[in-house]
Amino acid sequence: MDLFCISQSSLANGPIRRLWRSDDPSAVLGKLPIFLAWVELEVEVDPDIQAGIWAHGNIRAAGEAECRRCLIPNDVKLETGFDACFRLKSEVGEIEEGVWIYDPMISHIDLSKALREEIWLGASEYVECSPQCLGLCSGCGALLDTEGCTCAPPEGDPRWAALRKVKG
């Protein structure tokens, strides 16, 4: 059985708690928004005959991403909740969102797609090493936090020359 999967037969006795860890999450989950060295999913899967199968718990992950300003790699941690509802296709309406379809003929329920979606939603869109990071100079490429810019000062716009003469 694959990682992040739970057998449907094991749910016959009630809720099940699991803790899974992957040290190669992109191999299991596919493309992720940032490089993650590992992902843990602590989850309780609860079969509810009328509402479907509910999985809820916590996601923890860590990895590395470049600061969007200075491009220096930084450690990144992700902690977010995990909630997923699985229902039979016949029980899901056309407009219903946030529900995962499961097939009763398949022996297991795969949580990996729902986990991947939660990671995409929970990951920071932009990684910054600090709010004060000055980044790189777009001209010379100097790391502005530690070194000075070597670019020549910008030349004035010739369209403003007449006003500069008036200003004196």
Q: pLDDT (tens digit, 9 = 90+) per residue, 29-78?
A: 999 988 999 999 999 999 876 678 999 999 999 999 999 999 999 999 99
pLDDT, residue 78, reads 94
* Contacting residues for 139 by C-beta, under 8 A, at least 6 apart: 149, 151
Question: Given this model, what pLDDT does residue 125 score?
Answer: 81
Q: Report, as ranges of residue numbers, the positions in the chain whose pLDDT lies below 70.
A: 1, 49-50, 94-96, 168
DSSP, res 147: S
Q: What is the per-residue pLDDT for 1?
A: 45
Length of the chain: 168
Position 27 scores a pLDDT of 92
Alpha helices, DSSP H, located in 9-128: 25-29, 112-122
Residue 111 structure tokens: 């949580």
Per-residue pLDDT, 96? 67
What is the H or E stretch that residue 99 is in? Answer: strand 99-101
Segments in 30-130 forming alpha helices (H): 112-122
pTM, whole model, 2 decimals? 0.78
144 burial level (CB within 10 Å; 0-12, 13-18, 19+): middle
Token pair recorded at residue 138: 């777009």
- For the chain, what are the domain ranges? 5-122
Dihedral sign from CA coordinates of 141, 144, 146, 148: positive
